[in-house]
Amino acid sequence: MKKSKNRKLLDIALLTAGRLDLFTKCIDALLPELDEEYQVHVCNNGTNSSQYEEQYRRLPPNTMIRRLQQNQGYSGGANTAINSGNAPFVLFVSDDIFLHPGAITNLLDTMSDPTIHMAGLKLLFPEDSTEASRPAGKVQHIGMGSTIRGDMVHPLIGWSPDHPKCCVSRDVLAVTGAAFMVRREAFRKAGGFNPIFGKGYYEDMDLCFQIRQQGGRIYVNTEATATHGVGQTFRNDKNPPPIQQNQMLFRSKWGSTMIWTDWEMW
């Protein structure tokens, strides 16, 4: 991996919005993985940030902190965090992502292939999950597929992370926006996350389709893993994101390009 003389190799863009407990766990997992060639950028998306000061002090001294006065939605907050740096590669993580050891280096290895513009991780449900729909320690995300009806789905969700089918790194239609590595230039050319999706959902699918349209590959590295507290960021939100509306927006833009892929991963 080569980098320009005056910039870091990797920017780590971290988005948080009112869940100090998640942010703390996210930092706990991130700190052991940091390297001198990484620059951390935090975007606090519309939260009274005074309660965060103790956690900010745990981060490297050169960490860049952006504090938005009002919540700009997932797209706005993520764009702020990602656009704050200038490294050629960006690792984006939301505060409900808890990286496992080696995740960053595995993703950087993946990005050494210049045809791969965006790479995702194998994400697992939390070990302490008690919800039947979120089985503890099982696969939550291993890339996105499309059904014969054109619905974007999570193939292999709920499977054991050690199952052979869950250990195949491959090209996929899309990866979740909760955690991914992307080439800065590809993100810029795609226009970043589209703010039309408001609070969130489907802005990540839209970004992946935009990058693929530009000729870049979207890839999942199953050796790069993390725990994902799915939906916890929005759990206390009285006005959740408009998922159905965003799905319609996504389909209106990309419906003619959809292909049936989910069967390939089973």
pLDDT value of residue 86? 96
Measure the CA–CA gap between 34 and 115, rounded to whole angstroms. Answer: 26
Measure the CA–CA gap between 29 and 77, rounded to whole angstroms. Answer: 21
| Overall CATH class of domain 10-265 | alpha beta
Q: Domain ranges in the chain? A: 10-265
pLDDT above 50: residue 82: yes
Mean pLDDT of 77-92: 97
Measure the CA–CA gap between 138 and 57, rounded to whole angstroms. Answer: 33
pLDDT value of residue 199? 84
| Alpha helices by DSSP H, the chain | 20-30, 53-56, 73-83, 103-110, 184-190, 203-213, 243-254
Q: Give the pLDDT confidence of 5-51 residue by residue, as tens digits.
A: 567 999 999 999 989 999 999 999 999 999 999 999 999 999 877 88
Q: Give the pLDDT confidence of 97-155 residue by residue, as tens digits.
A: 999 999 999 999 999 999 999 999 999 999 999 999 999 999 999 999 999 999 999 99
pLDDT above 60: residue 1: no
- Nearest Cα to 160, choosing from 133, 119, 120, 125? 125
Contacts of 131 (CB under 8 A, 6+ apart): none
pLDDT value of residue 234? 55
Q: Give the pLDDT confidence of 195-238 residue by residue, as tens digits.
A: 999 888 999 999 999 999 999 999 999 999 999 998 665 555 56
pLDDT above 50: residue 3: no
